Amino acid sequence: MGKTLAEKILSAKSNEDAKAGDIVIVDVDVMALQDGTGPLAIQQFDEMGAEKVARPDKTIFFMDHAAPSPRKELSNAHMMIRSFADRTGAKYSEICDGVIHQRLVESVTSPGDVVIGADSHTCMSGALGAFATGMGSTDLAVAMAAGKTWMKVPETIKVELKGIFPKGVSPKDAIIYFIGKIGADGATYQALEFTGQTVESMEMTDRFTLTNMAVESGSKAGIIAADDITRKYLADQGRADDYRPEFADDDGEYVETHVIEVDSLEPMISMPHTVDNTSTVTDAAGTKVQQVFIGSCTNGRLSDLTAVAEILKGRRVNKGTRLIITPASRDVYLDAIREGVAEELVEAGAMITGPGCGACVGVHGGILGDEEVCVATTNRNFRGRMGNPEGSIYLASPETAAATAVKGEITDPREFL
Amino acid sequence: MEELKGKAWKFGDDISTDHIAPGRLFHLRTDLPELAKHVLEDADPEFASKMKKGDFVVGGRNFGLGSSREHAPRIIKIAGVSAVLAKSFARIFFRNSINVGLPVLVCDTDKIDLGDELEIDLAKGIIKDTTKEIELTFQPLPPAMVRILSDGGIVEHYKKHNGFKLD
Ligand code: SF4
């Protein structure tokens, strides 16, 4: 019997013939933490009496959630991270470098890796043909010391995308649509494997958007085969040697298969206050919006900023709306400057902040006022997520967010294309 | 394991880790006793001040969805909640709870109302609702998790066996 991608990777890293349902001890290739979860992991590591980090080169703390720090408590948390790294040889990524998951795919994760992160969207790295999953700080502390963790091998749901995206419809719409269909707990404990001709011809930047949001259906991982597009991406990142093909077996066993015909998709939106509360943008159109946020590990890449700039070209951000753009990493930011995209955005009325998580998690960078409405390209719209439980968040594609910024109300981007 | 006793505090479906430990209190993550004073604030602003030590959090479906922040189960425990009952739990929250020694029990919480007095025998797997005079059972934990919990959490487990010993 053949294997799914999850079973293949976990078999290789546990030296066992791992099948869904098995408990395995796996070697961990990459351990990632951030400034919210890292300090607790450090405390637990010290409490264990551990001194040595098993894989210092691949144990990385990202200062991204509070970057730059808006409060002294968080500045102190950053100091704690830097000094832990200095004493153990672990690495850290500074406040200007970018969001954990974007940095991982740019520079760290390779096909076939097991990646664990003290952050739920660690699943994004799965787009590179890796098994990547989020855990808590204590699991990370133990893994930092052991270089290993335990896992239950998940069952896999196959998500097959077919067809070509119509104008104004993007992979973000496809993943919002899918989560609406399967529900916020529709894939709890399971892995999603994204396949089909649409995925096979999709650029990595869009594949990242798909696997990023896998966890919003409860999934443990979102995985995509490592193919020629993966190889090219890694080569462009100066990491050609990190490539290896990673495919599922043809006769692997899947618990379910979902087919999404993208030709017939419309722009989609997640309405307050859950990701699976989805609607078409047409049905939600007209709602007044005070803030538009473009950024995050989901949609803060160059292609997203470019799509926004295309809609904003020759237009202005609406007077009653503020547009905040936070590039996902320093590289994204630099490219946006070099290619002139940043200039177009600022000219149209956007504010561009330094790279990082920005407004996504409510620490800083665009906290909502009471009764305010935000359309964001992020991945979560839970009550209070953007720093105020009295605010409301809608999740959409960069195109929908841009069209909304122009009109000041939720707007179907196809009006502008 | 001791018997747990207290009052039920009801919450709905999809209580996220943002409800439990909101991002706007990010700076308190290195001060858990202080953060615990705000536990579940965005689901019920008065919960932390009204609950008594030993009480239970009773949720609906998919309790604890969202971020991996382990601070969420930790502050529920620090606040004095003796167990969380729900129809289902999100994966990372469930694993974190076991790691930090917070009992998380899957049962039919529709049968329990706000204010019901509960008595729970963890070893026997029985929940008594003494207000309604009914008994509920909860799903046994997966064996790997029973080992971790009975060793006192993942850190203790790892120390005791000098590695993982889950089979
Ligand atoms: S951008 Fe948002 S979702 Fe992504 S890691 Fe940062 S806080 Fe989490």
CATH number at residue A24: 3.30.499.10
Which residues 63-92 of chain A have a CB within 8 Å of chain B? 65-66, 71, 73-74, 76-77, 80
Is B71 close to A65, i.e. CB distance below 8 A? no
ipTM field? 0.94
Angstrom distance (rounded) from CA B139 to CA B72: 22
At B146 the pLDDT is: 86
CB contacts < 8 A, A to B, total: 149
- The reply to whether residue B158 touches residue A145, judged by beta carbons under 8 angstroms, is yes
Return d(Cα A299, Cα B61) in angstroms, integer. Answer: 29
CATH of the domain at B62: 3.20.19.10
Q: Are residues A85 and A34 part of one domain?
A: yes
Q: Single out the residue of A280, A134, A309, A308 nearest to residue A212, CA to CA.
A: A134
Specify if B28 maps to a domain: yes
Q: Is A291 in the pocket of ligand 1 (CB under 6 A)?
A: no
CB distance from A135 to chain B under 8 Å?
Answer: yes
Looking at A204, A235, A261, the residue that finishes a domain is A261
If asked whether residues A198 and A299 sit together in one domain, one would say no
- Residue of chain A whose alpha carbon sits nearest to that of B16: A382
Cα of A137 to nearest chain B Cα, Å: 6
Instruction: Answer left, alpha or beta for residue A340, where phi above 0 means left and psi between -120 and 50 means alpha.
Output: left
Is residue B99 situated within a structural domain? yes
Query: A261, A296, A316 — which closes off a domain?
Result: A261
Helices assigned H by DSSP within B89-163: 91-100, 143-150, 154-161
Which residue among A261, A285, A309 closes a domain?
A261
pLDDT of residue A286: 97
Q: How far is the CA of A212 from the centre of ligand 1 (A)?
A: 10
Nearest to B19 among A146, A382, A388 (CB): A382
- If asked whether residues A85 and A220 sit together in one domain, one would say yes
3-state class (DSSP) for residue A10:
helix
Residues spanned by the domain of A73: 5-261
**Nearest-CA neighbor of A131 among A15, A277, A29, A284?**
A29
In this structure, the answer to whether residues A108 and A236 fall within a common structural domain is yes
pLDDT digits (tens, 9 = 90+) for A375-387: 999 999 999 999 9
Domain count, chain A: 2
Q: Are residues A199 and A244 in the same domain?
A: yes
Q: Tell me: the pLDDT tens digits for B58-93?
A: 999 999 999 999 999 999 999 999 999 999 999 999
* A99-117 per-position pLDDT tens digit: 999 999 999 999 999 999 9
Give the Cα separation of A193 and A368 in Å (integer): 35
Residues A180 and A287 reside in one and the same domain = no
pLDDT score at B2:
63
Q: CB count, 10 Å around CB of A389? A: 22
Q: Which of A62, A101, A293, A367 to mutate to test the pocket of ligand 1 (most atoms within 8 A of CB)?
A: A101
Residue B123 structural domain: 4-139
Mean pLDDT estimate for chain B: 94
How do residues A237-270 score in pLDDT, each as one tens digit? 999 999 999 999 999 999 999 999 999 999 999 9
Residue B14 inside a domain? The answer is yes
pLDDT at A363: 95
The tally of domains found in chain B comes to 1
Do A38 and A159 sit in the same domain of this protein? yes
Answer yes or no: do A313 and A340 share one domain: yes
- Token digits for A121? 């969207």
**Domain assignment of residue B156, yes or no:** no
Spatial distance between the Cα atoms of A210 and A202, rounded to a whole number of angstroms: 11
> Is the CB of residue A118 below 6 angstroms from any atom belonging to ligand 1?
no
A100 touches ligand 1 (CB under 6 Å) = yes
B71 contacts A119? CB cut-off 8 A: no
